[in-house]
Structure 1
Amino acid sequence: MITRYFIDVETNGNKRRVHYRLAGSGPPLLMVHQSPRSSKEYEALMQKWAKHFTCIAPDTPGFGQSDPLPGKPEINEYADALIEFLDALGVKKCAAYGFHSGGIILVTAVKRHANHFTTLAIGGYAIWTPEEMQLFSEKYLPEFHPSDYGEHLTWLWNRILEQSWFFPWFATDNEHRLSVAHGDPQRVDAVVREMLDAGNAYQAGYGAVLRAPRDIPAVDADVPPCLISAYDGDPLQDHIDRLGAMPSSWSAMKVATPEDHQAASLQHLLTAETGLTEELHQAPDEGFLAIEVENFKGLIHWRGKKTSSKLVIHAPGRALSKDGASNGVHIDLAGHGLSDDWLGNPPTDWHSWSKLIDACAEQLGIENIIYDPLPSGDAALLYPDLLPDRFGCYLTKAWQAVRAMQMFEPWYEATAAHAVPVDPGSLRPEILAERHLELLNARAAREYHLASLTKSPIKPRNI
């Protein structure tokens, strides 16, 4: 099972929170994702490699659920941030795997902190020509900010979709076509959500990687072994021929498929010396509860002070309050926010939901449960179908619903009779963007609403 945690990393008086995934047992393996993704992209691989390693996959700064680095960081700061994370976690030495930009960060970390690693496996290592670097610097990383009417979502969908058609994504000509084109809404949606999490912070992390020097360690460098491999269809496969002279313990190879790349990487990683680790640490005021009740078996995200006397349950379609640390303990309900989904279809009976909520309260040692009120309206209309579609229309549908929520109650009754006073601050794009992501992540909102209608009136209660 993959578990998830938060940890605070403090450097020069600055504290930042890092989210990471953990799976397996045995020697530690650090797994660094590509940009603009998060550690979620490694879930399937972590399940495969968990039988060999304790797989540790952080969200790099500014991506996923990790705080960004301050200022205008470059590649050395991202490499050092990895070491700071390992130190805070209690990992003294480990093997490491990185794909694309994750590999760039790792190679930089090895050059600066070689004694922290036993061996590396890298998926594709970019060696850009000056002409390619110039091309990327002009168009590759435009600023990404929410817009009033959701125009940014149309750009985002097409940006992520077409990067499997052309490389770089904006070079829409025959010369830059890729052989791995797809139109899979689920695959596009996965990256879109990670971009929505990162926001414009993606520009800093991704930009640092693109600007990073591409100097492989010198032939006589005292560095741990490394295998670099790339498969057919990977735009970085041709870069294997650009690597040049490498340390004697380093090697590179071209393979046919992603599976071949993973198999070669695993075989190489298994030759590493055993890493060193202490008991892994985590943040005291945020994390995930492992809950198993009836048709739910997974993780529930929580935030707040465990010494609080109340557990606060958000309304359907929302997520836990960001001020949870000062106002009780808050959780993301199953099928909402960062929490896992129900097994099968979400239930519409209150018995199932209350058992899950009570199990969370019991683990947290809290007796008093406070429920936020339900929104007014028909549950069948309040929560529109937001399954990813081929054209990304679900993204703008959710944005328009969230915008209308600030003007009408219920939001789908856009008439003068249902108008509510407008707070101009609630229409700021950054506020709408938070609500938009909450609604997209509310996979079980309708079912929770329907179940809530069958329980007793909302009031604090003891369990």
Structure 2
Amino acid sequence: MTLITRHFLTIPASGEVHQRIVHYRRCGSGPPLLLVHQSPRSSAEYEQIMHKWASFFTCIAPDSPGFGQSDPLPGVPEVGDFADALVEFLDILGVARCAAYGFHSGGIILAHLLKRHPDRLSTLAIGGYAIWTDDEMRIFGERYIPEFHPSPYGEHLVWLWNRILEQSWFFPWFDVRDETRLSVAHADPERVNAVVMEMLDAGNAYRFGYRAVLLAKPEVPQRDAVTAPVLISAYRGDPLCDHIDRMRSMPESWQTKKVETPVEHQELSLSFLKEHGQADCPRLAEDDSVGFIAVDEGLIHWRGTRGAQNMVLHAPGAELTEPQAGELAIDVPGHGLSSECDDYRAAIKAARRQLGAEKIIWPELPNGEPDILYPDLTPDRFGGYLSRAWSAARASALFAPWYAADSDHAIPVEQAALSPEAIALRARALLRAGKAAPKWHHEIALQLQGDPRI
């Protein structure tokens, strides 16, 4: 299977707009293909497609502004701002023209990009294109995108779990009627968790990406317009499938089609994109002070100065913090943004060698019993794992170890550590680590016993 690599790219400041960071995934070889995900997802949504399409294209999938690991746009951006942001990304990346694919809101953004910057796309395939009626827009309104902020005791997580779960049952998710039921309903904890984690990354910024496309007018050119070839297709069960019938007058270069399954939609889109190939992909730009390095079992996320004397490792269930000048830090395997692996020592050794660090700074061994310190955070049908992570993260600011809630283990109260935002970061780190946390605890214990493997 072709390796998907991950990168960061800085978009320089322009006028009064500060610089922003874009995170993107890359896979394959051949002509460049831009993939734009739907809201409130991230580029991780496209990993399966990227593996399948890597034989034909250099697949480039950025996290849209405010989603995944990409910085949000300032203010309250409109759909045109998201389209222009993609062009800025392509400019800095070094891609002058490419094919593109977008699903749902990703397709809407790309359609607006095609109108505003017609020379940048050679062809465009879209999965499900929303054309809302006035009545539907009145139903949606701001109700579809409520504020999302962490609460002191984690109540927001109960709402989040059920909101993501039920959006596969009804559309829109809050309109619970027999008439709004979806045929694609499921209750798969892993699938729900994938979206939950992306919502935790986006936070309240998720509203702006959603809002921009919900309020966007359908971008369908006049029949006599000359544009790059466009295919809009949708599969049965997609809530936007019937919107295909709402497509009226279109340019000759545009076509629509309904298919039966998601696989048919992907195969049709790939075939269409291959018909309009471009030149090979140029060398793509990326930042040199943050990124990912490939080790045998996956990717290690790092930040700091290559060739630094010290490579700093974090505690179990945590993730890297901003390194000091002249240092570098990594997310240890299975934590933060780094891949899980079986041999922690080999992965850390490979990271030190590739990044040129002279010395590894190990964390202190956390106080407490590993079997209790790190609760089971496997996603369950009712989302209880989210509450467990939040409770442990909150208690860790009050007791050491967190589970020993008595006067002998009380620690001084720091209000900053009890802010919902601070708890949210610690809880997310625990959720990202999951079962890797006790494994990393064990590795630190071996190091303190003088294990010579690094």
Distance 2:20 2:433 in 1: 27
Tell me the SS of whatever aligns to 1:266. Answer: helix
Residue 385 of structure 1 and its aligned partner are, at CA, apart by 0.5
Instruction: Encode CA deviations 1:55-92: one digit per residue, 9 max, x unaligned.
Output: 00000000000000111111010000011111110011
Which residue in the other structure is 2:338 paired with? 339
1:306 partner amino acid: R
Which residue in the other structure is 2:428 paired with? 437
Aligned 8 A contact 1:373 1:458 in 2? no
Aligned 8 A contact 1:285 1:325 in 2? no
Distance 1:123 1:197 in 2: 24
Distance 1:181 1:277 in 2: 39
Are positions 1:289 and 2:298 aligned together? no
Tell me the SS of whatever aligns to 2:244. Answer: helix
Which residue in the other structure is 1:241 paired with? 245
Among 404, 422, 429, the residue aligned to 1:413: 404
Distance 2:173 2:131 in 1: 18
1:9 partner amino acid: I
Among 5, 8, 20, the residue aligned to 1:3: 5
Q: Pick which of 363-372 and 379-388 moved more.
A: 363-372
Which residue in the other structure is 1:363 paired with? 354
Aligned 8 A contact 1:368 1:462 in 2? no
Among 221, 226, 230, the residue aligned to 1:222: 226
Which residue in the other structure is 1:453 paired with? 445
Distance 2:325 2:207 in 1: 32
Residue 324 of structure 1 and its aligned partner are, at CA, apart by 2.3
Residue 458 of structure 1 and its aligned partner are, at CA, apart by 8.7
Residue 399 of structure 1 and its aligned partner are, at CA, apart by 0.1
Distance 1:457 1:263 in 2: 54
Among 10, 14, 18, the residue aligned to 1:12: 14
1:303 partner amino acid: R
Are positions 1:402 and 2:393 aligned together? yes
Residue 11 of structure 1 and its aligned partner are, at CA, apart by 4.7
2:445 partner amino acid: L
Which residue in the other structure is 2:54 paired with? 50
Tell me the SS of whatever aligns to 2:55. Answer: coil
Which residue in the other structure is 1:232 paired with? 236
Counterparts in 2 of 1:128-277, with a 5 A limit? 128-275=132-279, 277=281
Q: TM-score, normalised by structure 1?
A: 0.94
Distance 1:172 1:411 in 2: 40
Which residue in the other structure is 2:124 paired with? 120
Distance 1:462 1:2 in 2: 29
Runs of 4+ in 1 over 6 A off after TM superposition: none
Q: 1:215 to 1:360 in 2, by over 3 A?
A: closer
Distance 1:220 1:9 in 2: 36
Tell me the SS of whatever aligns to 2:119. Answer: helix
Are positions 1:315 and 2:315 aligned together? yes
Distance 1:335 1:197 in 2: 17
Tell me the SS of whatever aligns to 1:199. Answer: helix
Point out where structure 2 has 5 or more consecutive residues left out of the alignment: none
Aligned 8 A contact 1:229 1:240 in 2? yes
Instruction: Encode CA deviations 1:125-157: one digit per residue, 9 max, x unaligned.
Output: 000011111111141000000000000000000
Tell me the SS of whatever aligns to 2:268. Answer: helix
Distance 1:133 1:40 in 2: 29
Tell me the SS of whatever aligns to 2:337. Answer: coil
Aligned 8 A contact 2:290 2:304 in 1? yes
The percent of aligned pairs where both chains have the same amino acid is: 57
Tell me the SS of whatever aligns to 2:24. Answer: strand
Aligned 8 A contact 1:406 1:422 in 2? yes
Instruction: Encode CA deviations 1:105-138: one digit per residue, 9 max, x unaligned.
Output: 0000000011011100000000001111111114
Distance 2:137 2:418 in 1: 38
Aligned 8 A contact 1:5 1:288 in 2? yes
Distance 1:423 1:327 in 2: 30
Counterparts in 2 of 1:43-122, with a 5 A limit? 43-122=47-126
Q: 1:283 to 1:458 in 2, by over 3 A?
A: farther
Point out where structure 1 has 5 or more consecutive residues left out of the alignment: 347-351
Residue 457 of structure 1 and its aligned partner are, at CA, apart by 6.0
Tell me the SS of whatever aligns to 2:96. Answer: strand
2:381 partner amino acid: R
Which residue in the other structure is 2:36 paired with? 32
RMSD: 1.6
Q: 1:275 to 1:105 in 2, by over 3 A?
A: farther
Instruction: Encode CA deviations 1:228-274: one digit per residue, 9 max, x unaligned.
Output: 00000000001001111111010001100000100110110010131
1:455 partner amino acid: Q
Aligned 8 A contact 2:362 2:444 in 1? no
Distance 2:114 2:325 in 1: 40
Are positions 1:279 and 2:270 aligned together? no
Residue 379 of structure 1 and its aligned partner are, at CA, apart by 0.7
Distance 1:238 1:454 in 2: 59
Which residue in the other structure is 1:427 paired with? 418
Q: TM-score, normalised by structure 2?
A: 0.96
Tell me the SS of whatever aligns to 2:19. Answer: strand
Residue 201 of structure 1 and its aligned partner are, at CA, apart by 0.3
1:8 partner amino acid: T
- Number of equivalenced pairs: 449
Residue 325 of structure 1 and its aligned partner are, at CA, apart by 5.9
Tell me the SS of whatever aligns to 1:195. Answer: helix
Distance 1:169 1:140 in 2: 8
Aligned 8 A contact 1:231 1:237 in 2? yes
